[in-house]
Structure 1
């Protein structure tokens, strides 16, 4: 079993509000949290997409989460619980084994076609953020990405200085691959919630097989960059209250009944978004 980085839980002040603790509350809320939906869209039956689709199904431009190298679809459970409680439709994905960015983008496009989603908002963390940008670039002639939200993402894989080793990850045993990923985890004094989050991500890393991890590290380090002119017309946010700008439009990821008329007026005035008639 893997051991997380040496962590020291710093003292934490008393909590004044309830906080979700531990691992995801599988079995709670709407839908079947215990078993993610499994979808095959490629000719290769071994390429299985896993996803949690939560919130109102009538929303046709949902927010889709793409995890980092060490992540699985369920790492976004806190975000799913919060956003669906506010009326958003959220899809958290775990992508199958792909060995190059074009192959991933083609598979992701087929998945969106299968889900009958013409446009989506993408949230990507780390590698997930890079893949989100590459998909926006890949579909720039027939846009499928309405907006991007990037967290700890990158636009050029050369920053890792491992492009020369990218094609050898498939040969490495699982424990070596996991050791590479663990080297990027925080260590030292952290607050208890951060320590719990790191423990949870280490647990998720343990759940990944050799081929899954090798393919993700290959995508992470394979020589590539995002062509900026192909995504320049897409709204991009580095975190922040991103989805508000789409309230009242056909690209809203939230149930319209959850948005007040006053909020729509504020958004119309502050952001200049063209509103559609209900």
Structure 2
């Protein structure tokens, strides 16, 4: 009698295929880059560049530069927070829950740094230095002040440099623009504080357990997280409207 044939193995279903794709290194790196914040920041600055009258190629350069710069900050944040993220069992962090390791993420971070430097300087030396300084301040903020009442300071300082990046920027390393207006710089710094509060809301419970006492947590303990969310959104809307008014009257550049 012929030997019974082995039953064919069932094909992987959509969930299994999805799980396999989700564990690919490029997907894990994308998740670790905090993509929502990266894309929103890149789109916001690109839109600001377009509204200020910059040509399409310069708008594209701004978007690409900021996208890579935000990936640098996102990956640096995950590397810096790995110990506390593991203690808090944050399964949304690929460095904690996925097969992504520190070596792979560190290599991607190094490559992104090597890429963002020429990208930033391609919009002009002054503009590039302003943006690179904002990244440096953000990286320093990942390590100092973030657990204190002064946690807002790196965010305000980094955002205050965005108008300078746009105002001084152009096309080519020799591009030279003009200094940004004080009003736009101050409004951007205040907006950075609001973004800090909004991006911190999802981690308030873990931050409280870890003993951090940054500004958003102190505010949430006073007014409650739901009310703080409403207040922060309203604060952001008011500031965006103020920046639009400043852009239409005072302008971006002096």
Q: Common fold, TM-score beyond 0.5?
A: no
Q: Which has the larger helix fraction? A: 2
Q: Which has the larger strand fraction? A: 1
The structure with the larger Rg is 2
Give the TM-score of the pair, scaled to structure 1.
0.25
Tell me: higher relative CO, structure 1 or 2? Use CA pairs within 8 A at least 6 residues apart: 1
